[in-house]
Amino acid sequence: MLRVRSLTTHYGGIQALKGVSLHVDTGEIVALVGANGAGKTTILNTICGMVPASSGEVLFDGKPVTNAAPDRLVRMGLSQVPEGRQVFAPMTVLDNLKLGAYARPRAEKKREMKSDLEFIYETFPILKERSKQHAGTLSGGEQQMLAIGRALMSKPKMLLLDEPSVGLAPLVVKEIFRVISRFRDLGTTVLLVEQNARASLGIADRGYVLETGKILLEDAASELLINKEVQRAYLGKGYRHVWE
Amino acid sequence: MGIWNQRYETMPREELQQVQLERLQAIVNRAYENVAFYKRVFDQAGISPEDIRSLDDLARLPFTTRENLRDGYPYDAFAVPLRDVVRIHPSAGTTGAPTVCGYTVNDIHNWSELAARVLSAGGVGKEDVVQVFFGYGMFSAGFGFQQGAERIGASVIPASADDPESRITVMRDFKITALVGTPAYALSVADQIEEAGLDAGTLPLRVGLFGGEPWSEKLRERIEERLKIRAVDYYGLSEMSSPGVSWECDHKCGLHIAEDYFIAEVIDPKTGQAVDEGAQGELVLTSLMKEALPLLRYRTGDLTSLDSAQCLCGRTLARMSRVNSRTDDMFIVQGISIFPAQIEAILTEMDGSTPQYRLVIERHGASDELEIQIEVSERVFTDTATKLDQMKDRVVNRVRSSLGILPRVKWVEPRTLENLTGKGRRSIIDNRE
């Protein structure tokens, strides 16, 4: 579904991505793990056309979309849930959700809006309860659910999720990841960027480990979870045994 | 027979190339950052890991040789700290310079996965009972097959090189269906079955996976005929995966290479340039998944040719032709790789000077035999027969302890060997088919 080849990105004189290649097959959940500043968000933003690629290529659904406009990508079925939720605080939950369908053809929207909303409410029952409330009054976890719900309203083939667990309580994180893992059954492909490597690899099929703008490892998520280097660097395991 | 990993073994080649590129970039990054040798050769060649933007860029990287591995002994070639290495297989080397292969937990997983592919393609399933005749000490194929068969869920008997009597008893009592070992072992098993007055056709034996030394199509026919089994070939080397680099499918039309784990190139051993597809040359392998011992463009010394046409079995993985010769004078006896220089070093150490000698390899029913024929020098000639016997024992013991194979040593008259060859002091005569 998504293919990235030797992607490089610069912020001014600083090279943020140094030749990143990755792919996500249809129906897969792929986790991209790495420390703060490794370039995870930059990868998503470059794929989405929000940050220009200096070189390399991005293919979505077999079509070249390197540096394509974000709205074109949304229309093609690629939707991003940005880091920090970024819901529209003064608007109601319902209006936030409706905005998610903005890029879809009017006739289709009219026809399917009701069933789509029902689907979102089924996935996140709390959003139905809060549908008339202003988004700004929601808790962090609820806002994250709203952000995901809003992205789903564009009926994406693929979702790019940027740090969905950041700043949330452990129980809420668990709930969010439970919902993401359900996307597999719904046929929505997911690229998940996370600092919470354990949780994201726990639900992913495959994963990539990113360090200073470079991919260091690609493997089945189950294999990455037992990789000693990954455990030390990202899973917080083994510190007790490290004395050198 | 079975395709163990449907996803990767039958992946469209264009998708496979994406996977190869991703994994190549990742292992180049790891090798450059974690292995001093690679950092040095990259820097010297003026190449940075970021220069690898396509699979074609692989050809820009320098080769890695067995000598490089030897220089890195024991730990320098490892890309992970020793505490992450869960298994170490050292192997004897030329003139006392050994090499070593190390494995992380994931490396062992991958090795098992690859061995499972080899076994599945050969026709081994979870109902099978597998007898592995490789020694489990000196080289790693025994372990690889053991793990692979266990991954599949088959029952495995690590028979190693146990005594021939019990071998046949075990084969009968546990209804062995699959044999794994050297082709020489297959012949010796056939002999023992006959000696025991059994008919191979009445035993449950179905398949055999043989390798570790070159064997011909003629020998394959003979093994299949005598043991009433299907005999298949596989290829591997400890530095990459043994077994697991490539394997035969039902169609016996070359060995499918695990291209999601290795990139195979075939080069002209003299110029280092790629040869055309189908032409013979030296196999060069780049590991894509190895964690402990990443090897980039490793020169195997084995001669083969590549064919990337789709196979009837459904696998999209390219095939290499069976390996029957090498670029150097290394030879394999009883599954153990030996360079004549290793034997020469032992002889020199014994005598103080290098005698004229000849290596003769024969296939004698039970197994391959290495005979070392040594010219008795004028000086030694004057010694007593007892002294000659003592020296003979010393050579036998030294070869056995350092190379892991029991040779025969034969004294020959002075000046009987030197004129047979223009290649200096050594010559090898391989009488195996």
pLDDT score for B379: 63
pLDDT score for B422: 46
Burial pattern A33-70, b for ≥16 Cβ within 10 A else e, equals bbeeebbbbbbbbbbbbebebeebebbbeeeebbebee
- pTM value? 0.87
Share of chain A above pLDDT 70, in %: 97
pLDDT score for B331: 83
What CATH topology corresponds to A2-85+156-238?
Rossmann fold (3.40.50)
The token duo for B346 is 């032992």
pLDDT score for B355: 78
Per residue in B37-82, pLDDT tens?
999 999 999 999 999 999 999 999 999 998 899 888 888 899 999 9
φ/ψ (deg, to 5) at B212: 90, -15
Contact B29/A214, CB-based, under 8 Å? yes
Answer whether residue A240 shows pLDDT above 50.
no
pLDDT score for A241: 45
Contacts with B289 from chain A: Cβ below 8 Å? 219
C-alpha to C-alpha distance for B282 and B249, rounded to whole angstroms = 23
Residue extents of the structural domains in chain A: 2-85+156-238
Could you give the strand order of the β-sheet that contains B262-267, starting from the edge strand earlier in sequence? B262-267, B281-287, B298-304, B325-326
| B216, B67 contact by CB (below 8 A) | no
Q: Name every residue whose Cβ is closer than 8 Å to that of residue B319 and which is 6 or more positions away in sequence.
A: B246, B253, B254, B255, B256, B257, B306, B307, B308, B311
Identify the DSSP state of B345. Answer: H
Q: DSSP alpha helices (H): ranges in A22-163?
A: 40-47, 70-76, 93-100, 106-123, 125-129, 140-152
Nearest-Cα residue of chain A relative to residue B82:
A228
Whether chain A has a CB inside 8 Å of the CB on B25: the answer is yes
The token duo for B21 is 């590129």
C-alpha to C-alpha distance for A145 and A156, rounded to whole angstroms = 16
Whether chain B has a CB inside 8 Å of the CB on A237: the answer is no
Sign of the four-CA dihedral B109, B110, B113, B115: negative
Contacts with B52 from chain A: Cβ below 8 Å? 19
Contact A226/B53, CB-based, under 8 Å? no
Q: How many CB atoms lie within 10 A of CB B12?
A: 9
C-alpha to C-alpha distance for A222 and B138, rounded to whole angstroms = 32
Q: A240 to each of A26, A141, A225, A237, A244, how far by Cα in Å?
A: 40, 32, 18, 8, 11
Q: Which of B312, B381, B370, B362 is nearest to B339 (CA)?
A: B370
Identify the DSSP state of B378. Answer: H
User: CA of B53, closest CA in chain A: separation in Å?
Assistant: 5
The token duo for A43 is 């990868």
Q: How many CB atoms lie within 10 A of CB A187?
A: 9
Window 200-219 of A, Cβ < 8 Å to B: 208, 214-219
The token duo for B260 is 């999601």
Place of tokens 């990508």: A73
* Regions in chain B scoring below 50 on pLDDT: 94-95, 421-424
The token duo for A53 is 């690629």
Answer whether residue A21 shows pLDDT above 90.
yes
Per residue in B370-399, pLDDT tens?
999 888 876 665 667 788 888 888 889 988
Per residue in A105-146, pLDDT tens?
888 888 888 888 999 999 899 999 999 999 999 999 999 999
Contact B19/A23, CB-based, under 8 Å? yes
Whether chain A has a CB inside 8 Å of the CB on B50: the answer is yes
SS3 B43: helix
Window 4-63 of A, Cβ < 8 Å to B: 5-6, 8, 18-23, 55-56
pLDDT score for B64: 96
Polymer length of chain A: 244
Q: Which domains does chain B possess?
A: 1-328 (3.40.50.12780), 333-430 (3.30.300.30)
The token duo for B63 is 């080769």
**ipTM > 0.85, yes or no:** yes
